[in-house]
Amino acid sequence: MKRDDLRSLVIETPRLILRPPRMEDFEEWARFLDDEIAARFIGGRQVRATAWRTFMGMCGCWHMTGIAMFSVLEKSSGKWVGRLGPWYPEGWPAPEVGWGIAREHWGKGYASEGAAAAMDYACDVLGWDDIIHCIDPGNLASQGVAKKLGSRLRGKVKMPYPYEEVPMDAWGQSRKEWKNGKNGGSPRFLAKGVSPPGKD
């Protein structure tokens, strides 16, 4: 995906802005991943140097494949509140829409609101026909988000190295199920001039 396309890719929901990560997001990204509680179910706490590498890996995925998670910004304050969206790295069980919200913003419904917009993006722009969410069996909050999205438990999945021994459930639904079963209407989608990967 071209750099100009990434700059123009913006998705708005009633309370959030989703866009590809930018360098100014790194401080909050690193703080989020340094929080042992917030990072517990997304690979575990990362020190700053490791967070730098995962941040750059996410940014690189945007540039090389056009598929990676968005930075999530709170409209009312402009604050970075988390990262979520499409994710399908090498060895992943299937195309995923995942989420991770900074702990100070838990309980506001941001994961559900942002993930719904990301589901639309995955279906309408990326053309995905089926989407999963990889959720630790102990992560009740994320199970709640998956249920709000209309996804159902599909069973166990095996994660790639170094997480192959971590128990993981796949929740998910098909594109048809998402389009036919979604409640509350579609978020306002603003992705001007952006083509699916490989189409530009």
Which CATH number belongs to the domain containing residue 33 in this structure?
A: 3.40.630.30
The verdict on residue 91 lying in a domain is yes
Q: What percent of the chain has pLDDT over 90?
A: 79
Q: How many CB atoms lie within 10 A of CB 61?
A: 20
Is the pTM higher than 0.95? The answer reads no
Query: Looking at the 3D structure of the chain, how many domains does it have?
Result: 1
pLDDT digits (tens, 9 = 90+) for 80-93: 999 999 999 999 99
- Residues 174-198 have pLDDT tens digits of 999 999 975 434 554 554 444 444 4
Contact partners, residue 160, CB within 8 Å, separation at least 6? 89, 90, 91, 92
Residue 54 lies in a domain: yes
In a domain, 195, yes or no: no
